[in-house]
């Protein structure tokens, strides 16, 4: 695999991780918030250790009023790396 192909492959995987992590965080928050959360209202950065940095910035400010925080967000590759698992815990 060429360097450029590897770089593109890693960037594509990173995009999938971020999307999956955001969906995971949104679905974990929804039962508490009961409101729409826009895709740009959370910034998620997957870290090499399998965790993720999550920064919430909901326009409504509900997360601040209710004291909602993301306690953990994780990702990991499964099997041969074609699949991955993401989790989120909010409170």
Q: What does the pLDDT look like over 25-62, one tens digit per residue?
A: 999 999 999 998 888 899 998 888 999 999 999 999 99
Nearest Cα to Cα of residue 22 among 6, 45, 51, 4: 45
State the pLDDT at residue 23. Answer: 92
Nearest Cα to Cα of residue 13 among 66, 88, 84: 84
Coil vs helix vs strand at 8? helix
pLDDT digits (tens, 9 = 90+) for 4-25: 444 344 566 678 888 899 999 9
What pTM was estimated for this model as a whole? 0.78
Kindly report the backbone phi and psi dihedral angles of residue 51, in degrees, each rounded to the nearest multiple of 5, phi listed first: -100, 180
Coil vs helix vs strand at 69? coil
Q: Give the gyration radius of the chain's Cα atoms.
A: 15
């Amino acid at each position: 695999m060429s360097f450029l192909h590897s770089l593109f492959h890693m960037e594509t995987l990173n995009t999938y991780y971020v999307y999956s992590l955001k969906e995971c965080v949104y679905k974990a928050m929804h039962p508490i918030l009961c409101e729409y959360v826009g895709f740009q209202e959370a910034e998620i950065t997957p870290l090499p250790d399998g965790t993720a940095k999550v920064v919430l910035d909901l326009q409504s400010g509900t997360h601040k009023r209710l004291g909602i925080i993301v306690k953990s967000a994780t990702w990991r590759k499964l099997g041969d790396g074609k699949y991955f698992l993401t989790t989120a815990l909010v409170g």
